Amino acid sequence: MNYYLILIAVLLNIFIFFFYKKIIKILNIYDQYDGFRKFQKTSVPIIGGFIVTLNILIISLCDFFLKLNFIDYYFFTDSREFLSFFAGIFSFYLFGLYDDRFNLNANIKLLISSFLVYFLF
């Protein structure tokens, strides 16, 4: 079994751990107190989706381009599968980032998510 992907993911997360304040400043997305659903005293940075998405994309890029068989088979068999997966993950991340920034209506979020899922399948 190849452990390169685990090593890459661990190094990536260590990098994020040490530079998360700079990443937060670049993204500039904070969860604010609203008195209705959110009761934190200070602004809380929303960086979890960025970390998860970055990990998934880096590991899938390594798996596709380096052909590191992580679980004794390749996750992507051809470039079309890889590009569909990459586009899907990245588009949902950008949609979530936009929603965090501009607080979309729940009906609009449902409609856009449905279109994204429909076009990706």
Distance (Å, rounded) from C-alpha 99 to C-alpha 95?
A: 6
**Two tokens at 11?**
């190094």
Nearest Cα residue to 48 out of 78, 93, 81: 93
pLDDT higher than 50, residue 1: no
Residues 6+ apart with CB under 8 A from 86: 57, 60, 61
d(CA 88, CA 93): 9
Evaluate if residue 110 carries a pLDDT over 90: yes
Token pair belonging to 48: 């979890």
Look at residue 107 in the predicted model and tell me its pLDDT. Answer: 92
What pTM was computed for the model?
Answer: 0.71
Q: Are 113 and 95 in contact (CB under 8 A)?
A: yes
Q: 55-100, pLDDT tens digit by residue?
A: 888 877 777 777 665 555 667 777 888 888 888 888 988 888 888 7
Q: Between 25 and 73, where is the model more confident?
A: 25
Helix or strand or coil: residue 29? coil
Domain ranges of the chain: 4-120
The reported pLDDT for the residue numbered 57 is 82
